[in-house]
Amino acid sequence: MAEYKEIKGYTIKVTDTDPIVYAGAWATGNNMNTARQYTGSFGSQTAGLVAGGETSTAVNSVEQYDGTSWTEIAEINTTRYGLEGFGNTSTSGFVVGGAPDKAETESWNGTSWTEVGDLPQGTERGGCAGTSTSAFYVGGYKYPSPAGSTNVGYDWDGSSWGTGNNINTTRDRMGAAGVVTSGIVFGGTSPGGQHAQAELYNGSAWTQTGTLNTARRELGASGFDRTNAQALGFGGEPPAVAHTESFDGSAWTEVSNLSTARAAGGGLGTSPLAAFAGGSGLSAATEEWSFPSTPVVATGQVWIKTATGVDTVMKGYQAKGTGAFATGGNLNTGRGSHVPSQQGSQTAAMAMGGATPPSVDNVEQYDGSSWSEIADINTARQGGGGAGTTTAALVVGGNGPVLIVEEWDNSSWTEVGDLNSAPAASGTATGTSSAAIRMGGYPKVGVTETWDGSSWTEVADLNNNRGGGAAVGTTTAANFAGGGYPQVANVEQWNGTAWTEIADITARGDQAAAGTQDSMLVMGGDPNTCEYWNGSSWTELADLATAREGVKGCGGSAKAIAFGGGPAVTATEEWDVPYVTKTFGTD
């Protein structure tokens, strides 16, 4: 007797309109009446206020936004700049603190301003967010003597400021969102430089979380008023940037940029619906952030399009073509065999050390358009391995051999635990600053070591001893491709315990790599070809425009960067794979 089985699968939508990509974007709004910077702000994208700030001097004027235009309303009582705002409507909110030496808090009821409970001490440019009954103010630049950045925290209960909890990183000029029981601060500055660190608040303590991709101060912020699981940070300096990053509760992702790079403006709204008004250079500009309200599409989605008088077709959204390289900003110092921030991105990368020749200690950071010199590593080297991002990185070993490992905390380099095994020459590394893996080296060793944030431990060796290969991944899922003199085609995969040989690549060495264990891009080297791994096989792609050995890179397999190379190459190339709607069987 036949046995009937339930048919299972995914529902495919039938539509007469192609969906669009669901991605946030900025659009131009109407200008404020008074161009200003260093303002206090609160409210939503369609009902927000911007108060005080600085023109050529401090001002007390206030403007209200209705989603279309700005209207001047009642002035705050205390003229100031560098103030903060909190509250989620245009009829119930507060401004607090400011410069110079302001502790005043003022309440807005939709008609007038009233002074209420002051901060315990004068403070400007802190991290402040919340509702009219639950808010926090942390950090900032305090007065009186000794003046300087602080980490002190205060909580607001609806009528007065009480002792809160201190943030872990002393700073001012940061972004903030949320409420007392679910808050977040991110970015900022202190005498040591700009910060990328972010911290979460549960009402009892602040805890470090994922860092911004771009360290900066004076950035705008928005987020849901009840949670820190979603936040948006935009703009900032120095120099003024347009970068926008979205927080999902654990990590930051770069999304669409502002139209105009600027800092020190007023942020309004939530992470799905935000606004940024005014800012550095005495801007009056307003930009609005939103997501599409029409049907949207995600990568890998398929649908059936039908309309009267035309054939019905099946469509999908996927990567189209094999991608292409475009020219990026040149390094200031040409170099090869340098160390990359292997977990960096196309818009946030680092080049550390290398050979000009000779070996150098110079370090540069990339923001998506140009390279800037930052603090040097302590030990000049070439041929080392790199792990981490532009805000938290490791430089591992190097030719010499150098067993020294240095850690970057976004302001300075500190020597940490040395590698156990020499030689360290032309070894490769990947992972994060607290969980990294380093493999191979010369003369032809297979030594592998893992880093747990405090020390290195030797683990299982490579099957094919070599140095000069390219690596991507983590301490539990990594790939090591090519390498050797002469070059080899071997590729090995790490599962956290052992190395396993997988499909070969074109024999090569001294190349750049980007991506993950299941989606890896290998760029340049010797030879200058580029290849892509999809988890089962390799495909040859477009070559780098500038042929070079000793090139390094980072990013994802669809959006990557390759920079430097020998001898003393300054060229940077950016790799992008476009995503488009495709009709099955015809495109």
- CATH number at 410 reads 2.120.10.80
Do 222 and 271 lie in one domain? The reply is yes
* CB 271 within 8 Å of CB 223: yes
> Could you tell me which of 468, 475, 545 has the C-alpha nearest to residue 513?
468
Do 335 and 190 lie in one domain? The reply is no
Q: Give domain status of residue 300, yes or no.
A: no
Domain end among 290, 316, 340 = 290
pLDDT score recorded for residue 577: 83
Q: Give domain status of residue 2, yes or no.
A: no
First-to-last alpha carbon distance for the chain, in angstroms, is: 45
Do 72 and 187 lie in one domain? The reply is yes
φ and ψ at residue 251, rounded to 5 degrees: -145, 155
Do 82 and 175 lie in one domain? The reply is yes
Domain end among 267, 290, 313 = 290
* Burial class of 532 by CB neighbour count within 10 A (0 to 12, 13 to 18, 19+): buried
Q: Give domain status of residue 307, yes or no.
A: no
Q: Give domain status of residue 315, yes or no.
A: no
Do 228 and 339 lie in one domain? The reply is no
pLDDT score recorded for residue 1: 41
**Residue 71's beta-bridge partner residues?**
64
Q: What is the C-alpha separation between 274 and 280, in angstroms, rounded? A: 19
Which of helix, strand or coil describes residue 499? strand
**Residue 532's beta-bridge partner residues?**
521, 539
Do 376 and 495 lie in one domain? The reply is yes
Do 230 and 357 lie in one domain? The reply is no
Do 122 and 179 lie in one domain? The reply is yes
Q: Give domain status of residue 165, yes or no.
A: yes
Q: What is the C-alpha separation between 252 and 275, in angstroms, rounded? A: 19
Q: Give domain status of residue 316, yes or no.
A: no
Do 254 and 328 lie in one domain? The reply is no
pLDDT score recorded for residue 2: 46
* CB 173 within 8 Å of CB 201: no
Which of helix, strand or coil describes residue 587? coil
Which of helix, strand or coil describes residue 222? strand
Domain hosting 58: range is 20-290
Q: Give domain status of residue 295, yes or no.
A: no
Per-residue pLDDT tens, the chain, 587 aa: give them.
445 445 455 566 667 776 666 678 999 999 999 999 999 999 999 999 999 999 999 999 999 999 999 999 999 999 999 999 999 788 899 999 999 899 999 999 999 999 999 999 999 999 999 999 999 999 999 987 788 999 999 999 999 999 999 999 999 999 999 989 999 999 999 988 899 999 999 999 999 888 898 999 999 999 855 455 578 999 999 999 999 999 988 888 888 999 999 999 999 998 788 999 999 999 999 999 987 766 666 666 777 777 666 667 777 766 655 688 989 999 999 999 999 999 899 989 999 999 998 999 999 999 888 899 999 999 999 999 999 999 899 999 988 778 999 999 989 999 999 999 865 567 899 999 999 999 998 877 899 999 999 999 999 999 999 988 999 999 999 999 999 778 899 999 999 999 999 999 999 989 999 999 999 999 998 889 899 999 999 999 989 999 999 999 999 888 899 999 988 999 999 998 876 666 765 44
Domain end among 270, 290, 310 = 290
Do 471 and 570 lie in one domain? The reply is yes
Q: Give domain status of residue 200, yes or no.
A: yes
Q: How many structural domains does the chain have? A: 2
pTM above 0.85, yes or no: no
Do 65 and 127 lie in one domain? The reply is yes
Structure tokens at 85: 């705002």
Do 286 and 328 lie in one domain? The reply is no
